[in-house]
A and B are shown apart, each in its own frame.
Chain A
Amino acid sequence: MQREAWAVLLLLLAGAAVFAHVTTTTEEYSRYNVGWNGTSGFAGAEIRDLRDIDPGATLLVLAPDRPFTPEEVGTLRAFLDNGGRVLIADEEGAANDLLADLGSAMRVRPGNLSSLDRGHADPGLFVGYAVGNASLFAGIETILLNHPAAVEGGEPLLKTSVLTWDDADADSRPSGEEVFETAVICASEGNLTVLGDPSLFINAMLAENPEFIDNLQPVLIDATHSRTGTTNPIINTRVWIQETPPAAAALAILVVLPVVYRFGRKENE
């Protein structure tokens, strides 16, 4: 009996290790990354076809890395015109083409923003201050930022203190031609909001700005253009099976058939 218990335990351990490996990833921003830099802990339903968005919903485009087709841009524009809200969180400037196509003057300016206004040794982890009365920052005075980018244009919603500089030489201190100046991290134009810090949605940051995350809910995540997807083929297959009823049914049959066969054979014996 003891030997059997050990065998079951071993099999469970091996199964858990295999399961954890094939169903998780370490990719940045991935919904299947349960580590600090994944977004598995961020509550938000994924949407793969922009035409399926309900008018009036809030759509989050998180760290986009795939271009939008003209049709998708048109869909987004119509969505905005009909009262929908779009939040684009980007720090690499990948969203600038989309912003231009949407007719927005806002742009993401990639850089290495650092600040003295911080409570961490890392100069890229610093405080931003909410300005104005946008619902996204309702009840919030400060936000902990994580290596954000500046946003140009639009109406500022979140700014840094003046003791902020673009640390171009990455020496973690203001030097050379680097100057202190306030940077805008989040700005809006109507229903379109641009946030220069997608890191606010990673697992490690969720507990740092809980009110901000709450204010955003409910939210849909654009899974087609965001980096929340993954390149892991096993996970992609699992997701495809989950989202494709015939495939799920076929898999269920594949699992059930051997069991039925086995039981049938035993009864005959």
Chain B
Amino acid sequence: MNRRASQIILAAAAVLALLLLAGEATAPILYTATDTSTAAHADPATVQKRSPGNADALVPLMDDLLGQTGTLTLTIKLKDYESAESDLARYSELSRQFDRLVVTLDVSGTDIGEFQRNNRQNQEALTALLNDTRRFEDLQRLEIEVRGDDEQHATVVYEGEALRQKMREGFAAYAEKETEMTRIAEHYDLNATPYQESVEHFAEAANAAAGWREKIGGGTGGGTGGGGAPRSPLMIAVTPTEGRYGDTLLVAGTYAGGLPGNPVEIYIDSRIVETVIFDENGTYQYAYRVGRILAGSHLAYATAGAVFSEVATFEILPRNTSITLALAEVNRTAVACTGNLTTAEGVPVTDAPVLLRVDGGTLISTQTDQNGTYTKHITLAAGEHTLRAEFHAAGYPLNASESQEETVLVQGEGLSPLPFIAALAAVIGTGWYLQRRRQRPEESPVVEVPEVTDRVEEAAEQPPQVDIKGLPPREAATLLFRTLRLRLGLAETKTPRDCARLIPTHAGFFKRYELIRYAGETPSEEELRTMEREALGGDPDAA
């Protein structure tokens, strides 16, 4: 196979190999093997690992919460308040853990989210039950002590009646959730018995208040101040009786014995919310703006000195919300997240917690201001990220909402100059090394045999002198052959045939000499002159 064919085959092989490898080289999987997947499966080696997020604790926590309600209500019913305090603290801690887990695992939209909302309300109800039961016991004791003092006795009875009503309302709200909670418990194979028992315990605690009322001579009629119970002289009313987040409800009333300027304390769900004063007509009023309060039934009452008003109820209805998210680049690594949280009617939700969920996992918290606007600068790694703003409405009479998912491309820190400096130094170093290596042969005492071409050029620069006059033709030809061989830098061991193969441009000369040398032919004068010209550096074609 000749040289050209070999070269063609090698070139073709090289091109083929390059083409095949180039086809693969363009596949991004070689360089960015992340989230490799098809419709049927994913490559686990390329999928980002993440912490399970304690997901396996979710269902056991639900079980614990249900169990805790049974324990707590039992200790309240048994009036073991020390244990009840401890149980309530434990229940609150478990609820906090559960709330965090629900948000972290992003399951607010499921029945587990429903369980969480109900549990939150149950926690409020059981906290109130413990406080009310304890206060009610105090009142029972007081009632015995102040018998004979009509005014003080009436005061105790008023407060007792207020508490009785409140506990009855609280029980109604608690019992209302039993069906739904039991359904969820059964779905997750949880033990609902303690929770069902808690409803019974709650009922017994509430009934104890009703029993005391009958015992002191009150009726059993329902409604605010209904039946035969003594009506408090301190009146109270909430108008309107229904409201939503952002609305203002007027809590107002009169007291015949109220002196102008005397204080009136307003309680919502047993917590004092404001102290106002009586005017000249013995009336008072307080504008209650619906803010962070759970949706559902609530109780309001007032106290003026030792006099308790009756209990007024009002309903807080839920509202839908909407939250927006806008992203803006702050610098190469930080992104500004801004948005508004409002009710569906456009009322801003103020001082409310907002969560920013990054890439479906990491949570960053922020808060709205007085205009319902939030702003948060977050630092992200280079690459594309998805963000979503979420409002979980914990403790608000609002429904949860989340923004559209937004995508941002973070450029990341500028490239460090160090690798470039290192690469530049490497190039310079390599160049310097190669330069030295090239120069070394000249400096080296070891003399290497120069390449044929170098020798040809060297010899060509110094044309040899030759004189063939007077020599026999065949000896003259030999002298010219040696002259040309020397001029071309060929070794003396080279035969005419070797020389013809090595220097094809002078092949005619060497072949002719081969015939003279070995075939015994005698060159003519004309041939010798031509050979002399070529040997001394003339036109080889002339030979």
Residues of chain A whose beta carbon lies under 8 Å from any beta carbon of chain B:
7, 10-11, 13-15, 17-18, 20-21, 28, 36-37, 63, 91, 116-122, 124-125, 144, 146-147, 161-163, 165, 172-176, 178-181, 198-199, 202, 204-205, 208
Contacts and interface: CB of A to CB of B under 8 A. Distances in A.
A118 B52 CA distance: 5
A37 B43 contact: yes
Given A120-B50, A146-B44, A205-B44, A18 B109 contact: no
Nearest to A29: B40
A117 B56 contact: yes
Interface residues of B, number: 43
Nearest to B17: A14
Given A10-B13, A11-B13, A122-B37, A163 B58 contact: yes
B13 A119 contact: no
Contacts of B188: 162, 180
A173 B360 contact: yes
Contacts, number: 124
B44 A28 contact: no
B59 A125 contact: no
A13 B17 contact: yes
A117 B55 contact: yes
Interface string B14-41: 1011001100000000000001111011
Given A162-B59, A163-B58, A122 B47 contact: yes
18 contacts: A13-B17, A14-B16, A28-B40, A37-B40, A117-B52, A117-B56, A118-B55, A121-B360, A125-B44, A125-B47, A147-B40, A162-B189, A179-B110, A180-B187, A181-B187, A199-B40, A204-B45, A205-B41
Classify the secondary structure of B's interface with A.
Answer: loop
A208 B44 contact: yes
Nearest to A91: B40
Contact of B50 (A15, A36, A121, A147): A121
B36 A176 contact: no
Classify the secondary structure of A's interface with B.
Answer: loop
Interface string B351-375: 0000000011100000000000000
Given A11-B13, A28-B38, A124-B41, 12 more contacts: A18-B20, A116-B105, A118-B50, A120-B48, A121-B47, A147-B41, A147-B42, A162-B59, A162-B188, A179-B110, A180-B107, A180-B187
B287 interface: no
B2 interface: no
Contacts of B187: 180-181
B111 interface: yes
Contact of A163 (B14, B48, B55): B55
A62 B276 CA distance: 78
Contacts of B56: 117, 161
B44 A172 contact: no
Report the 9 A-B pairs with minimum CB-CB distance, sorted nearest first.
Answer: A199-B41, A14-B13, A14-B17, A116-B55, A17-B20, A121-B48, A36-B43, A146-B41, A204-B43
Contacts of A175: 109-110
B47 A120 contact: yes
A118 B47 CA distance: 12
A236 B21 CA distance: 23
A14 B41 CA distance: 33
B103 to A, nearest CB: 12
A116 B50 CA distance: 11
A17 B106 contact: no
Q: Which of B40, B53, B55 has the most CB of A within 10 A?
A: B40
A119 B53 CA distance: 9
